[in-house]
Copies of this chain bind each other. A is one copy, B any other.
Amino acid sequence: MGRGHMARRNTNRRVGIADVAEKAGVSHATVSRVMNGNAAVDPGIAARVRAAAAELKYQPNPVGRSLALGKTDTIGIVVPDLANPTFQAILRGLSIAAAQDGYRVLIADSSEVTSEEAILAGEARRRCDGVVLCAPRMADAELEELAPTLHPLVLINRTTIATNTPSLSVDYGQGIQELAQHLVSLGHRRLAFLSGPEHSASNRQRLVGLDQFRAEHPEIELQMLHGGSNFDSGHESTEAIIASGATGILAFNDLVAMGLLSGLHERGVRVPEDISVTGFDDIPFAKYTTPPLTTAAVPINELGSLAWRRMREQIQQAGEATTQAQDEFSPRVEIRKSTAAPALTPAS
């Protein structure tokens, strides 16, 4: 206990601005000025200070700076599950883009525990200059209440009623319709949707899209099967899928599709000859499955970098509560080898 103070006169104390000041024979203020190049400093003195700093290998303490400046040059990101390639890609894009502007990212993985998300986001916000929030299952009401307290905030795949929170979203409803359309145009008449987590916002969007599809294609059979969002849930649905009799399967996402592909392969069901399968997201692995997966491509890398751009805009115009961009991406159907015309069956 008392570390902070006791360590003060210790030998192993980090070198601070005061040491540089002493060595250069000037005040801390001057050292600060030189380091930040804010005010004019006599070139001779500046050189002396720089020499002293270099010799002592002085590096300003970021915590002290943060306190004085009221900013941390760090943003936080809250994700529900870091095991999901989609969030990995967003994190990566965000991190790289932010780094280019000298910002770092702090990560908070809510491990799918919805009730923790608000708390994590709040904590992240207090430590950072802004937060990127991915909370697909958070209740609308909670989000609405939380958003203003997080202010420099960027939402992924969610929107708020207030228009001053930028959001990036993907039109899942549109994408899933196009995939269904693709299957129909190949000749499929019996489709099945292997749905994702029940309370997921993006799953709801897919369902809405499929309702619309049904309305436009009353002649097509479309079954709904419950599933999850990962490999294993896709794998576990194999039997149900086979039992459904559907020839065209819309999997919730690429992970589910991959699990299913593997399950079907084990059971000797050929893809796409016997059954066509589509994914969603176009994760990097999708083109390397066997057969390569037909999917709806989400510009997963852009998402992260655009999130940063929106964040930066807010950080820069600190204050002026302008209305913020709501970006929506339309997925592009990527046709590969996991879909084909169904085998000829006796017309029922």
Contacts and interface: CB of A to CB of B under 8 A. Distances in A.
Interface of A: 3-4, 7, 59, 61-64, 66-70, 72, 74, 82-83, 88-89, 91-92, 95-96, 99, 104-109, 111, 122-124, 126-127, 231, 235, 258-259, 261-262, 265, 284-285, 287-290, 292, 318
6 contacts: A4-B68, A59-B126, A88-B88, A235-B288, A262-B287, A290-B290
Given A64-B67, A258-B288, A99 B95 contact: no
Given A3-B318, A104-B123, 9 more contacts: A4-B68, A7-B70, A82-B88, A82-B95, A83-B284, A92-B109, A104-B108, A104-B127, A262-B290
A339 to B, nearest CB: 16
B288 A61 contact: no
Contact of A290 (B66, B265, B318): B265
B96 A92 contact: no
A305 B106 CA distance: 18
A123 to B, nearest CB: 8
B261 A4 contact: no
Contact of A107 (B64, B95, B231, B290): B95
Given A82-B88, A96-B111, A265-B290, A66 B63 contact: yes
A95 B67 contact: no
A105 B107 CA distance: 6
Nearest to A14: B126
Nearest to A111: B96
A271 to B, nearest CB: 9
A99 B123 CA distance: 12
Contacts of A126: 59, 61-62
A103 to B, nearest CB: 11
A96 B99 CA distance: 23
Given A83-B284, A126-B59, A106 B74 contact: yes
A282 B96 CA distance: 26
Contacts of A109: 92, 95-96, 99
Nearest to A76: B104
A329 B190 CA distance: 49
Nearest 9 pairs of A and B residues by beta carbon: A290-B290, A82-B92, A262-B288, A4-B70, A63-B66, A258-B288, A62-B127, A63-B67, A88-B88
A257 B61 CA distance: 45
Contacts of A82: 88, 91-92, 95-96
Contacts of A284: 83, 231
Contacts of A91: 82, 107
A11 B285 CA distance: 51
A328 to B, nearest CB: 25
A89 B7 CA distance: 37
